[in-house]
Amino acid sequence: MTFQSSTVSYAARMRFILFLLVMASALSAADTFTVASYNVENYFLSPFGTRKAKSAVSRAKVREAILKIQPDVLALQEIGRRAALDELLAGLKSKGLSYPHIEWVQGPDLAIHLVVLSRFPFVARKSHLNVQYALDRQRFRVSRGFGEVTIRVNDTYKFTLLNAHLKSKRPVPKASQAEMRLREARELRRIIEERLKVDPNANLMVVGDLNDTQDQPPIRTLLGSKAPKLVDLRPCERNGDRAPHLQSAKFIQRRVAWTSFYWKEDSYSRFDYLIASAGMNRELRREGTLVHAVEDWGLASDHRLVVGEFFAEER
């Protein structure tokens, strides 16, 4: 009888210890979370107008990139019809990565769409589907709209995410592509200022393919020249580079940060951004913020995935 009681007691203690270990692991995992942005380059299952269907090999490489990072929140650009998103989600789920919370953004462009996927619940959805602006005495609409969701990571931490895909550098006959992109950036900045006017310390991120470099007016407009100023998180490759600039600590370190390739010019640029409010920048974990560098990345897309990691608590 004593032996049985001792055995039961030991088993109970082991179960309790295992429970504590599992809980500790879960709490540790919840200490941080990741937000990623990825232009998946014409993710179509079948042709749409002049856009070709994306090959099975290319789609598999997109899934591989996402599965490698397994971001908690994922903003996508250039998703085709809803069936294409369903196919991508099914492929990820078959490998153990599920996104139960989905924001599908249907802007004026019927071909490509913005999407926000999240493991965490949305507490608000305010996507902007009919954003208009004036240029050269004409009215234009932001082609892809802007995705906006507020995400609750845990009981004490939430943040607002804006997903954007600004006008490309491809010329169009009706107006200057550069001016169109700037007008779109101004409309996005207006939304940012409205949100941060209510709470200057709010946690807010702007992510996506902004189709311009940091020195150009659209990006400068989004970052802001006066309050509320945003912070360009500038993810970089994890390739071993660690040394600071030799001349001045104020200089941006010479690390590999390009995210987009343009075949016509054979050029590499940083078009994909993670931009944060001052409030959210305080929670940034720099070690987990990066450009995802992987072999044969170009099979997936002409863009590379960028990811930021954050502590899930106010700092």
Name all domains of the chain by residue range, CATH numbers in brackets. Answer: 32-238+248-311 (3.60.10.10)
The pLDDT assigned to 157 comes to 98
Return the closest-CA partner of residue 229 out of 199, 198, 192. Answer: 192
Report the amino acid identity of residue 107.
Answer: G
Q: Environment class of residue 132 by beta-carbon count within 10 Å: exposed (0-12), middle (13-18) or buried (19+)?
A: exposed
Return the closest-CA partner of residue 216 out of 244, 177, 254. Answer: 177
Q: Environment class of residue 188 by beta-carbon count within 10 Å: exposed (0-12), middle (13-18) or buried (19+)?
A: buried
Whole-number Å distance between alpha carbons of 240 and 63: 25
Question: What's the pLDDT band for 8 if we cut at 50, 70, 90?
Answer: low
Instruction: Report pLDDT digits (tens) over 279-292.
Output: 999 999 999 999 99
The pLDDT assigned to 28 comes to 46
Stated pTM of the model: 0.89
The pLDDT assigned to 14 comes to 62
Q: Strands, DSSP E only, in 233-283?
A: 236-237, 260-262, 267-269, 272-277
The pLDDT assigned to 305 comes to 98
Q: What percent of the chain has pLDDT over 90?
A: 86
Report the pLDDT averaged over residues 40-44.
98
Instruction: Report pLDDT digits (tens) over 215-238.
Output: 999 999 999 999 999 999 999 999
- Any alpha helices (H) in 31-81, and if so which ranges? 56-69
Instruction: Report pLDDT digits (tens) over 65-123.
Output: 999 999 999 999 999 999 999 999 999 999 999 999 999 999 999 999 999 999 999 99
Whole-number Å distance between alpha carbons of 32 and 127: 26
